[in-house]
A and B are shown apart, each in its own frame.
Chain A
């Protein structure tokens, strides 16, 4: 069994270990979860090193490649008569996403240290969900991909339904059904790819050698793009996201907004644009327009929110819009920006939801107007919140700036298959959202942390505990690391995006 299989299996085995631990030993369960995810982080670091040593010599050659190059490949026949394989591999984009997921789940477990109700089921489901996420990022057989994709979505229903707050049953049902409707579109698209190619295979790398008929691409591209777009909060299919995130418990919001929504952008890039370049050319401008609405709608939506979680959820809708905007720009700069934004937003929003959980655990309210002056009583949390907020409005030196500047440049450079004027106009309009973001972030955070302490009870509250400090500290450090040394990430992903771009141009 290879390295990649272990990356997927480790969370699953941890979940199993938790299942067989007596439910009354809650702290043991948490330590198992922490040990499992901590080991995973180490394993991910090792995989990154392995990947880097293997991939570095090929970088130059990848500039002109049309077929993606995978490393650490594992391939076993599965349902052989239908050409279904157990096919794992990794390239730069996958690597970046695996690093992101590993960080988020580790900090997510730390941030859930206070979960007491049915702790065993909670951590088991959480780890099962991550198993699915790692599976999606590492599998290159479309059947396997779809299988992991749904495994990643479904535990969400119980996680929100059982441990959530507010109208949790409604939110959980809405989220599950909308996401699975998206995957219904994916099933149609994937099976279409399978049957139209005539190759009897779900192998992504082999399907990439086929030029699909234009008529097929014309409907299959939007089907697959929207199918993934639902998970990536594409307007107007984003409505599950604010309700879902607001109702979900802390670690689940972190994972969902931080990682799961990235599956959407990842799939749109990897499957839709890569396999169906002609469809992408036809529909690129349309989706650029849709995602521009996304970006602005999310930003304006966030201004009006009073609840910190809805506030962050709408801001996520806006930021996930950047991801799909970059993908729809159909050039290297835009796609690079999209992947960077996936990473950056994943860390940033993970940080936000972790902090909201911590603040809520102390004040027992998430309503912005009821809070004030919290910076005086909990300086650590306030500083972390501000770092996240500044990253979100694109302050240079933090990861958000790198990602958003790439996306906007990508949009502005445009591509030869749509009207240049339209693309540039859309980009300019989308850029305005940065101003709106600054307004809602600074106003919202100012209300919560600055000024006099509004409620005398707040004086008794304590600042972050050790687990909370580790969890938020790791995330803040990652934001700063990407902001200050963006080339670490860019070098990792650039060579893997080139084949997608080259295929568009051939």
Chain B
């Protein structure tokens, strides 16, 4: 029962294959809908299931933190399929932006989603690694989906560097296993002893995790892959892959390395500081909106890291703030990407300057984009501000006031490039050839939901309070 969400996702994936064979071409738009329905069912299951329990002799377990990871992953996957539906059905006016083979696309995305769900529940090394690969390899395929030069290049780069990252991680985990002789994550923490081999193992694990999470200096693959991949995949990569990285880091830090808790603040702080600063400053000079969003996503990973700081006092606070911001980031970033997907799908243009005059031609789309960008920059009363503020408060409680300062300054810097887009949309006049283009009902619905969510999450306290309350529950079961 505890594995129900995962099973639903996998079964839906196989069902898609069968249905694809049976229905006529005219009926095929139903396929993304089936995928969406499956994800919705899994979401309900993840919500309704008990908040703790284990399976397979403790190799797979559910607790309140992994439950929230699962919910967030499912939301991210569902929204991605929803914003991709138009391109999968070939509805966009700009033909090259359409995505082929809709059944396979949904299927691979669902497998990837299943991998991430398993990852959240993994409690031993093998389960962890296998589910991580399941959450990674489908992304290589998705990145190369369009089969033109850029997309293939993105896929190839992603495969090579991704394999390198996985190799680091696997080698690191292998070393740690060798040192402890334990497979269970929690059991490993008890048997660890410091020494050269231990530090080697930890270093490699950090590099592997850093790759997934696009932490500086392991971020170099991200910009090219994000730019080259189909926009729908970029959107998914920027939220889901990041979420999987966080779940992985959570396992590594709070399970394998738990006894080191008082010592990892320094490393996390430096990684966070580097990641947010480098990501932000690199974003300033970008001309292509997808590349800009890639660097913006890198800097956001830096903020998310702040959630792992601080362990004397109330360690759970950071986890709640991190999960909350991840949720906020997922809806806000996907709102921004929904506009980008729509615009490049209809016009084929993805330079920042192409957005000029959007407020004249499409006032509502421009408004949605502005709200999303301000959310990412952390402007009140949007949820982005609230989420960031909570993460900053974690760092402040850990006594790292300099990091709070750096993070807050970085938020302002990020506003510079987000405002650059707002300036184009609102201040610059539309070009003579710019016309209003079609907005599909599906896209409008997704945008309405994500935009509203990015406001409501920040104003209505119940969401954060629930996460905070439930994850505090998780803490009671651990060594703190």
**A162 and B427 in contact, given A79-B465, A150-B385, A188-B401 (Cβ under 8 angstroms):** yes
Interface string of A77-96 (1 = CB under 8 A from B): 11111100000000000000
**A188 and B404 in contact, given A80-B465, A81-B468, A150-B379 (Cβ under 8 angstroms):** yes
Interface string of B373-417 (1 = CB under 8 A from A): 010000111000110011011001101010011001101100110
**Is the pair A146, B380 in contact by a Cβ cutoff of 8 Å?**
yes
Is B219 among interface residues, defined by CB-CB distance under 8 A? no
Q: Which of the residues A80, A180, A191 comes within 8 Å of B404, measured between beta carbons?
A: A191
Is B329 among interface residues, defined by CB-CB distance under 8 A? no
Q: How far is the CA of A494 from the CA of B409 in the complex (A)?
A: 37
**What chain B residues lie within 8 Å of A451 (beta carbons)?**
none
**Is the pair B380, A150 in contact by a Cβ cutoff of 8 Å?**
yes
**Is the pair A82, B380 in contact by a Cβ cutoff of 8 Å?**
no
The size class of the interface chain B forms with chain A is: 20 to 34
**Is the pair B379, A154 in contact by a Cβ cutoff of 8 Å?**
yes
Q: Which of the residues B393, B412, B464 comes within 8 Å of A180, measured between beta carbons?
A: B412
Q: How far is the CA of A150 from the CA of B411 in the complex (A)?
A: 13
The size class of the interface chain A forms with chain B is: 35 or more
Q: Which of the residues B379, B396, B412 comes within 8 Å of A184, measured between beta carbons?
A: B412
Q: How far is the CA of A162 from the CA of B357 in the complex (A)?
A: 12
**Is the pair B464, A192 in contact by a Cβ cutoff of 8 Å?**
no
Is A173 among interface residues, defined by CB-CB distance under 8 A? yes
Q: How far is the CA of A157 from the CA of B386 in the complex (A)?
A: 21
Q: Which of the residues A79, A168, A194 comes within 8 Å of B461, measured between beta carbons?
A: A79
Q: B466 — nearest CB in chain A belongs to which residue?
A: A81
Interface string of A181-206 (1 = CB under 8 A from B): 10111011001101100000000000
Is A325 among interface residues, defined by CB-CB distance under 8 A? no
Q: Classify the secondary structure of B's interface with A.
A: helix
**A185 and B381 in contact, given A191-B392, A191-B396 (Cβ under 8 angstroms):** no
Q: B360 — nearest CB in chain A belongs to which residue?
A: A118
**Is the pair A147, B427 in contact by a Cβ cutoff of 8 Å?**
no
| Number of A-B residue pairs having CB atoms within 8 Å of each other in the complex | 93
Interface string of B417-447 (1 = CB under 8 A from A): 0010011001100000000000000000000
**Chain A 384-429 residues near chain B, CB threshold 8 A:** none
Q: How far is the CA of A147 from the CA of B401 in the complex (A)?
A: 20
Q: Which of A147, A173, A176 has the most CB of B within 10 A?
A: A147
**Is the pair B405, A185 in contact by a Cβ cutoff of 8 Å?**
yes
Q: Which of A148, A158, A187, A223 has the most CB of B within 10 A?
A: A187
**What chain A residues lie within 8 Å of B423 (beta carbons)?**
161, 169, 173
Q: How far is the CA of A346 from the CA of B386 in the complex (A)?
A: 31
Q: B420 — nearest CB in chain A belongs to which residue?
A: A173
Q: Classify the secondary structure of A's interface with B.
A: helix
**Is the pair B464, A79 in contact by a Cβ cutoff of 8 Å?**
yes
Q: How far is the CA of A162 from the CA of B381 in the complex (A)?
A: 22
**Is the pair A81, B469 in contact by a Cβ cutoff of 8 Å?**
yes
**Is the pair B426, A158 in contact by a Cβ cutoff of 8 Å?**
yes
Q: What is the distance, in angstroms, from A240's C-beta to the closest C-beta of chain B? A: 13
Q: How far is the CA of A154 from the CA of B401 in the complex (A)?
A: 25
Q: Which of the residues A80, A82, A154, A162 comes within 8 Å of B393, measured between beta carbons?
A: A82
Is A314 among interface residues, defined by CB-CB distance under 8 A? no
Q: How far is the CA of A326 from the CA of B205 in the complex (A)?
A: 57
**Is the pair B416, A177 in contact by a Cβ cutoff of 8 Å?**
yes
Is A143 among interface residues, defined by CB-CB distance under 8 A? yes
**Chain A 126-159 residues near chain B, CB threshold 8 A:** 143, 146-148, 150-151, 154, 157-158
**Is the pair B404, A173 in contact by a Cβ cutoff of 8 Å?**
no
Q: What is the distance, in angstroms, from B250's C-beta to the closest C-beta of chain A? A: 20
**Is the pair B408, A184 in contact by a Cβ cutoff of 8 Å?**
yes
**Is the pair B389, A187 in contact by a Cβ cutoff of 8 Å?**
yes
**Is the pair A151, B461 in contact by a Cβ cutoff of 8 Å?**
no
Interface string of A47-79 (1 = CB under 8 A from B): 000000000000000000000000000000111
Q: What is the distance, in angstroms, from A470's C-beta to the closest C-beta of chain B? A: 32
Q: How far is the CA of A195 from the CA of B394 in the complex (A)?
A: 9
Q: B402 — nearest CB in chain A belongs to which residue?
A: A188
Q: Which of the residues B379, B408, B464 comes within 8 Å of A188, measured between beta carbons?
A: B408
Q: How far is the CA of A158 from the CA of B399 in the complex (A)?
A: 37
Q: How far is the CA of A169 from the CA of B386 in the complex (A)?
A: 28
Q: A81 — nearest CB in chain B belongs to which residue?
A: B468
**A180 and B469 in contact, given A187-B392, A188-B404, A188-B408 (Cβ under 8 angstroms):** no
Can you offer 14 A-B residue contacts whose CB atoms are under 8 A? A81-B464, A81-B468, A82-B393, A154-B379, A158-B426, A161-B426, A162-B427, A184-B411, A185-B408, A188-B396, A191-B396, A191-B401, A191-B404, A194-B393
On A, residues with C-beta under 8 Å from B are 77-82, 143, 146-148, 150-151, 154, 157-158, 161-162, 168-169, 173, 176-177, 180-181, 183-185, 187-188, 191-192, 194-195, 219, 223
On B, residues with C-beta under 8 Å from A are 320, 374, 379-381, 385-386, 389-390, 392-393, 396-397, 399, 401, 404-405, 408-409, 411-412, 415-416, 419, 422-423, 426-427, 461, 464-465, 468-469, 472
